[in-house]
Structure 1
Amino acid sequence: MLRINSSKADFYVSPDGDDSNPGTEKRPFATLKRAQEAVRKLKKKKKKGAIIVLVREGTYYLKEPLVFGPEDSGTKEQPIIYAAYPGEKPTISGGKKLACDWKPYRDGIMMCELPEVKEGKLSFTQLFVNGKRQIRARYPNYDPGEPGVSGYIYVKAKVPDNLTPDSPDPDEDMTFSGQGPKGVFYDPDTFTKKRWSKPEEAVMHVFQAAYWGNLQYQIKDIDWNRHIIWFGRGGTQMGAKWAHDPCVINHRSRFFIENVFEELDSPGEWYLDRTEGRLYYMPAEGIDLAKAKVEVPLLKQVIEFRGSQDRPVQYITFSGFRITHTASTFFELYEVPSLGDWAIHRGGSVFFEGARNCRVEGCFFDAVGGNAVFINNYNRNIQVVDSLFVETGDSAICLVGSYHLTVGSQKMFPYECVVSNNLIHDCGVFGKQIAGVFISVAKRITVSHNHIYNMPRAGICINDGTWGGHVIEYNKIHDTCRETSDHGPFNAWGRDSYWCLLHSHGQPSKYPSVCHEAGDVFKDAMETVIVRYNYFRENSGWGLDLDDGASNYHIYNNLCVGVSMKLREGAYRLIENNIWVNGANSPCFHVGNVNNHDRYVRNITVMSTTFSKPENDLNFEMGAGYGEVYTLIYPPDKGPWLEEIDYNVFFSDVGEFYARVLTRDGKKKKYTLKEWQDLGFDRHSVFADPMFVDPKSGDYRVKPESPALKLGFKNFDMDRFGLLPDFPKKWLNEQQKIS
């Protein structure tokens, strides 16, 4: 990490400065924009050494994003550095501070007049009081003590396509292939008893029926007599090109509705009347509005690096800033970048496109409204390191290439970028189909030493098999998938050109000739993805979920507690020297391809019938509850199920080996170890206590007399998971305040 320990710099910026000043320490600039202009001029004169801009503590409210182009570039010999003054924590805000003259309204609600809003010059969808995001007036009410659990009711049913609303049809251009529902029926027994004067201003947040993520809809109208909520724009926040209807909503879908004045009835809630220009707020406990700082996000992005493949932005570092108050983006354009499940918005509070050798380090992304960092299309050696990400609206860090790529024709994708030593938690305030680190159509991305937890869905997600070569190592990931299902702390899809949709989900494929074969996966998954030395802890799903054709992986030396792993379709996976302890599901092999070349060797599996709570997992058949050590669903109907499966150690409180197999013809069978070995599998494997050193204290190394060592298992380092010792102390202190 870059350490700015000296107060010596070329230019200085301070909230107390003036842009007419020369930018010295005693007479600093007032804005980063003015410092940027000064750096451009200095570059022409100063030929050697870094150019450093030090920024004093305070809040810098940007009226427009700070954009760096090729003309702002440094060089390897002369990098450009914008950094916090030593020991200080400057804030870059995409918002505005409001001057509120609060007056009592009624029932504990306060009101202030905002003429700019009435004149149409100001509008916002988030409110921050003393640095904390407040709650838009909603039904049902939100309980901060139970985030992701409380504050929802269930849809009664989806409105059928042939039902004609009293109002015009929803906006078809805002849905993927017109697949979005027109609306839903609500249950009058659980729905609000109040009548809303402006239902068309309300926003519905609703989970997809399988809980792969959620959707947001602007409500178009409410039919109070037929109990129907009609949808307007929205519904683009998740989708999948491969699925006929990825955004299905039904009686399993939970929802809440916000931005309703009549529902302003709980501390911390607020409502903006844009017609009258009035802000209503019921103060949260402990808030003195006479002294409170009230801020609203306006900009979607605050820092942009914009170049091109031919003229990239180069050698610029941003270090030590708090970045906050960016606007929510869930009604912006979302797209599906590949055949993976996810839809994304190509934007972030810090945005890279056409950059090389640039860094964001030691920053605190505090409650930004969408993605925190988005690395888009052509980028090389972008580093996001040593930073804290908390309560982001969507994902923390996204690296996404162009979906227009043909193999080898262009270079419009992130390449050799690094995401390391970041603390990421409680993200996905608005979007639930999100990740701490999201990778799609990228190559050779290193994700290391990150600590990721309290996420609604994935810790790390690789959305497709294009182009591979990633290294995922030394991460500590736990308490993910808290609001969604059918996933894991690490999830990957293969869904590239050669994934067979007919074989997987019974739908037509462009490549029928390879439907039951492994296929030429290397044309997309060009280089092996390495997943090693990671710690995963959950109580449902799988720790390592290689779904729908994820291919060309080497997975070794990982510790999974409460979860194990899954391989579905795909080919060329080497799974070795891992430990799965008390998995909610046993190691699973789903829909195996013929000639898959998969190898599963020298792993330790310990299963418990009492450790997990299967009823908490929405979608899975729980092997743990039966002590099974393997589950195979639809293995190949010809040839070996795997290329090699041997030298493993199994143990469970059932006291004996069981493997469960469901074949393509619908037959189910449980195998004992002898029956399993008679099939040619695990001929050298044993059912025995692996003899962990001290599992109660988290030491899952095996003792010298362990049977695993005799079969070739090797102990691996378990004290380097997660953050490095040099993670910035100033953000650790902020983390303690948050906790």
Structure 2
Amino acid sequence: MKRTIRPRITLLSCLLTLFLSSNSFAKDFYISSKGNDKNPGSKEKPFATFKRAQMALRSAKGAVTVYVRGGTYYLSAPVIFTALDSRQAKETVTYKSYPGEQVKVSGAQLLQLKWESGKGGIKSAKVAPDISFDQLFVNGKQQRMARYPNYNPDIRFFGGAAADAISPERVKGWAHPEGGFVHALHKHEWGGYQYLISGKDADGKLKLEGGFQNNRQMGMHDKYRYVENVFEELDTLGEWYFNKREKMLYFYPRKGTDLSKARVEVPQLKSLFEFRGTAEQPVKNIRIEGMELSHTLRTFMETKEPLLRSDWTIYRGGAVVMEGAEQVVVKECFFNTVGGNAVFMSNYNRNNLVSGCHIAFAGASGVCFVGDPKAVRSPSFEYGQFVPLKDIDRKPGPQTNNYPSDCTVENTLMYGLGSVEKQVAGVEISMSMDIKVSHNTIYDVPRAGINVSEGTWGGHLIEYNDVYNTVLESGDHGAFNSWGRDRYWHPDYQVMAGIAKDNPALITADVIKPIVIHDNRFRCDHGWDIDLDDGSSNYKIYNNVCLNGGLKLREGFFRTVENNVILNNSFHPHVWFDNSEDVFRHNIVTRNYFPIRVNDWGKEVDANLFPDQQALEAAQKTGTDAHSAYGDPVFVNAAVGDYRVKPGSPALKLGFKNFPMNEFGVKSPALKALVTPVKLPVLISEMKTEGQDSYDFLGAKVKNLNTLGERSATGMSTETGVLILEVPKKSILYGKLQPNDVILKFNDTMVKDMKDLKTVEMGLQLSQKGTVEVFRNQSMKKIEIPLK
């Protein structure tokens, strides 16, 4: 028997060995910056480029890992995956950095320049004629285009803005401004605008092209604007200017920079990896892992496409682009100062994943999910547009499948986004369905952290995110923001009220699935923590912590808000329709409600906990909260952000249920270590009337005036009011209030201490300006201040 079996085993082993050694079967490949594309792609003889590995993989079967060895890979063109690169479910291809080695994929060209010295420490160098010049990186750090006013990170808008940025007097001093740019906020601070300077007219006025980056056209702000890439404004360290006519680069290096040894990189590409398929022939089962992606071009002059009737226009691109993709994964990648969007999923996408990534200082948004307007029934594309009711398609849902669905962004850290564009978000969702946004940490953004542009088509799950330091360079917005200008929505309130009453099925014809927002922590100091604007409908909002800005519901229908903790603020119902079916129950609020034009309070507003009897009675006078109560919620430990309530809390008796307070944001220990934590609020109820504790008020540092020394220094006759200690340039009070001012009245409300001031502040979002009365230089002074 043994003699018969052994030859068979040997023969099978040989055949198996031969099969495994075949080039068509699965094996790992390797790429190295020191490799050669003529090599077989083995560890010992690696390829040199992604393109060569891509070609080899098209004939390789089975699951394959392409290990990318440490180094910087300068792409001359984006790596584009098509249906030819698709893999079966169990034959995924993974491009990943080799363990323990750092891989950088760059869209820049590395320049070797011969520098010459000029006046005032400015250096110059001739540049090859085929080089695009949009950004400059020296030794890995981004430098700033010559600009006016000069950049100052302590100033809130743009790091410096000026009303005279394009004044005739300043323009007169510019010999050749063509090629420069004007950046400005929207007139109402709803995002921003950008313009290319094409020259000067006969009167010396700038010729501008652009201004299409916002879908609510009202023109640029008359104060918050700046100009860049003008030679005459090259006047401070770290600035540069590129003369396109002469192909000459001018640079004002910082002290200690040895340009003869410096690494000079100039971005040339808009994207690095693209997945280009269709719904019929998608590109599938490819993963990009563990790489640093950097040096892509700014794309603000291509941000033109309106996203239906939202305030947005968009550029369908990013460092990574997916269109017609399935089961594509971007994992643990570092998007380092990319010029536009980091990840963009356009049109048909299914089951794609962004996970464990780090997105820092992107020029535009973090992760965007945007479908095809042709998939929308009866679309309109500008705020004032509306398809006549008789012409509206009545069928619910999309009319094609050309949109992102069942895609996820999770465990991703995003901050410093919108460094160029201002109508941006950490996560942007438009014309999509069933998008999951989970366990992300998003902060330091000019507008929303998470934005849903319209109801089409719902089903999104927004959970366990930590979103703060939002709306830093805009106004009238939220840490979470949404619009609901769907096919039923009309800009005329009375017209829309009639449409909703007579055609209730249209309300959810686009938002066919509820959007769920649960177990998140939000903070916005220049708007609302949760802002459901203009018709946003079909939401379920529960188990969220709102740290500062409160929760707003405007217009819309079918919103259920329950079991949320709203700190130092409250519920802001704005402009409700009759029979909205809205529900607000089992919430903890710490101020009275702030209703505007609400006659019908929906289906149920009850069983909520108020801070005091006065706030409760104010609500009950409007016909709500018959079974609500007031009192101290008895938080477990508010000082460390634990807003669960202790046994015996009156909130529990009303039906409030505790939920975890330690699951917000990224889960990865490596990402957690990079996070700048949220600033927790000092609760109004815990503010001290004595002592030296300082507080934040609209970005200024203040304290209760409560010592004899402070009374003497200010000239006050009594120890009362709130003393201004410091007004940083980022504060909206900068230039209005001064250190040593004492606030005594705000919007006709007397201010005895910080509790009074903080109470007044909660209602400031209802208007755009306010009046402060301060004691300054031994006399009272009335000052009008902005409130956003």
Both proteins in one fold, TM over 0.5: yes
Q: Tell me the amino acid that sits aligned with residue 596 of structure 1.
A: S
2:691 is aligned to: none
> Any idea what SS the aligned residue of 1:36 has?
helix
1:714 is aligned to: 657
1:376 is aligned to: 346
1:547 is aligned to: 533
2:614 is aligned to: 657
Q: Is the 8 A contact 1:516 1:593 kept in 2?
A: no
2:590 is aligned to: 606
Structure 1 residue 285: deviation in Å? 4.2
Q: 1:727 to 1:446 in 2, by over 3 A?
A: farther
Structure 1 residue 634: deviation in Å? 1.4
| Cα separation, 2, equivalents of 1:544 and 1:512 | 27
Q: Which runs of 5+ in 1 are unaligned?
A: 1-7, 157-184, 241-245, 608-628, 659-672
Q: 1:211 to 1:283 in 2, by over 3 A?
A: same
| Cα separation, 2, equivalents of 1:440 and 1:95 | 31
Q: 1:369 to 1:700 in 2, by over 3 A?
A: same
Structure 1 residue 105: deviation in Å? 1.2
1:238 is aligned to: 214
Once the two structures are superposed, what CA deviation does each residue of 1:61-81 show, in whole Å capped at 9, x if it has no partner? 111111000110111111111
Once the two structures are superposed, what CA deviation does each residue of 1:454-510 show, in whole Å capped at 9, x if it has no partner? 001110000000000000000001101100010011001111101121118xxx77x
1:56 is aligned to: 69
> Any idea what SS the aligned residue of 1:35 has?
helix
> Any idea what SS the aligned residue of 2:227 has?
strand
How many aligned residue pairs are there? 632
The structure 2 residue matched to 1:10, chosen from 28, 41, 50, is 28
Structure 1 residue 700: deviation in Å? 1.0
2:595 is aligned to: 632
2:469 is aligned to: 479
Q: Tell me the amino acid that sits aligned with residue 413 of structure 1.
A: Y
1:589 is aligned to: 573
Q: 1:342 to 1:733 in 2, by over 3 A?
A: closer
Once the two structures are superposed, what CA deviation does each residue of 1:125-165 show, in whole Å capped at 9, x if it has no partner? 11111111110011111124546464210269xxxxxxxxx
> Any idea what SS the aligned residue of 2:493 has?
helix
Q: Is the 8 A contact 1:500 1:512 kept in 2?
A: no
Once the two structures are superposed, what CA deviation does each residue of 1:551-593 show, in whole Å capped at 9, x if it has no partner? 000000000111210000010000000001013xx31111101
The structure 1 residue matched to 2:310, chosen from 340, 357, 371, is 340
Indicate whether 1:131 and 2:144 are aligned: no
Q: Does 409-418 or 140-149 show the bigger shift? A: 140-149
Q: Tell me the amino acid that sits aligned with residue 605 of structure 2.
A: I
Q: Tell me the amino acid that sits aligned with residue 295 of structure 2.
A: H
Once the two structures are superposed, what CA deviation does each residue of 1:368-425 show, in whole Å capped at 9, x if it has no partner? 1111110000000010110000111100110000111234420011000000000000
1:197 is aligned to: 175
Q: Tell me the amino acid that sits aligned with residue 253 of structure 2.
A: P
| Cα separation, 1, equivalents of 2:329 and 2:404 | 14
Q: Is the 8 A contact 2:215 2:310 kept in 1?
A: no
2:625 is aligned to: 682
Q: 1:274 to 1:231 in 2, by over 3 A?
A: closer
Once the two structures are superposed, what CA deviation does each residue of 1:431-462 show, in whole Å capped at 9, x if it has no partner? 00100000000000000000000001110000
Indicate whether 1:282 and 2:268 are aligned: no
Once the two structures are superposed, what CA deviation does each residue of 1:663-698 show, in whole Å capped at 9, x if it has no partner? xxxxxxxxxx44642543101111211111221221
> Any idea what SS the aligned residue of 1:571 has?
coil
Q: Is the 8 A contact 1:516 1:594 kept in 2?
A: no
The structure 1 residue matched to 2:81, chosen from 45, 68, 84, is 68
| Cα separation, 2, equivalents of 1:394 and 1:548 | 24
2:219 is aligned to: 248
Q: Does 547-556 or 693-702 show the bigger shift? A: 693-702
Q: Aligned ranges for residues 204-353 of structure 1 at < 5 Å? A: 204-222=182-200, 229-240=205-216, 246-251=217-222, 253-353=223-323
Indicate whether 1:564 and 2:550 are aligned: yes
| Cα separation, 1, equivalents of 2:675 and 2:77 | 27
Using structure 2 for the length normalisation, give the TM-score: 0.77
| Cα separation, 2, equivalents of 1:339 and 1:145 | 34
Q: Tell me the amino acid that sits aligned with residue 248 of structure 1.
A: G
1:647 is aligned to: 607
> Any idea what SS the aligned residue of 2:594 has?
strand
Greater RCO, CA 8 A, separation 6+: 1
1:537 is aligned to: 523
Indicate whether 1:494 and 2:484 are aligned: yes
Q: CA RMSD in A?
A: 2.2
Indicate whether 1:467 and 2:451 are aligned: no
Q: Is the 8 A contact 1:155 1:250 kept in 2?
A: no
Q: Is the 8 A contact 1:421 1:727 kept in 2?
A: no
| Cα separation, 1, equivalents of 2:168 and 2:281 | 57
Indicate whether 1:108 and 2:115 are aligned: no
| Cα separation, 2, equivalents of 1:348 and 1:290 | 33
Q: Tell me the amino acid that sits aligned with residue 186 of structure 1.
A: S
Q: Is the 8 A contact 2:398 2:457 kept in 1?
A: no
2:55 is aligned to: 37
> Any idea what SS the aligned residue of 1:545 has?
strand
Structure 1 residue 308: deviation in Å? 0.5
Structure 1 residue 643: deviation in Å? 1.1
Structure 1 residue 219: deviation in Å? 2.1
Q: Is the 8 A contact 2:470 2:526 kept in 1?
A: no
Structure 1 residue 332: deviation in Å? 1.6
Structure 1 residue 635: deviation in Å? 1.6
Q: Is the 8 A contact 2:470 2:525 kept in 1?
A: no
Q: Tell me the amino acid that sits aligned with residue 211 of structure 2.
A: G
Q: Tell me the amino acid that sits aligned with residue 126 of structure 1.
A: Q
Structure 1 residue 88: deviation in Å? 1.5
> Any idea what SS the aligned residue of 1:83 has?
strand
Q: Is the 8 A contact 1:518 1:596 kept in 2?
A: no
Structure 1 residue 87: deviation in Å? 1.3
Q: Is the 8 A contact 1:194 1:262 kept in 2?
A: no
Structure 1 residue 215: deviation in Å? 0.7
Q: Is the 8 A contact 2:601 2:624 kept in 1?
A: no
> Any idea what SS the aligned residue of 1:689 has?
coil
Query: Which of the two has higher C-alpha Rg?
Result: 2
Q: 1:646 to 1:512 in 2, by over 3 A?
A: closer
Q: 1:309 to 1:195 in 2, by over 3 A?
A: same
Indicate whether 1:87 and 2:100 are aligned: yes
Once the two structures are superposed, what CA deviation does each residue of 1:84-104 show, in whole Å capped at 9, x if it has no partner? 101122111111001011121
Structure 1 residue 276: deviation in Å? 1.6
Q: Is the 8 A contact 1:334 1:346 kept in 2?
A: no
Once the two structures are superposed, what CA deviation does each residue of 1:501-556 show, in whole Å capped at 9, x if it has no partner? 1118xxx77x9533798663221110011100001123231111000011000000
2:160 is aligned to: 151
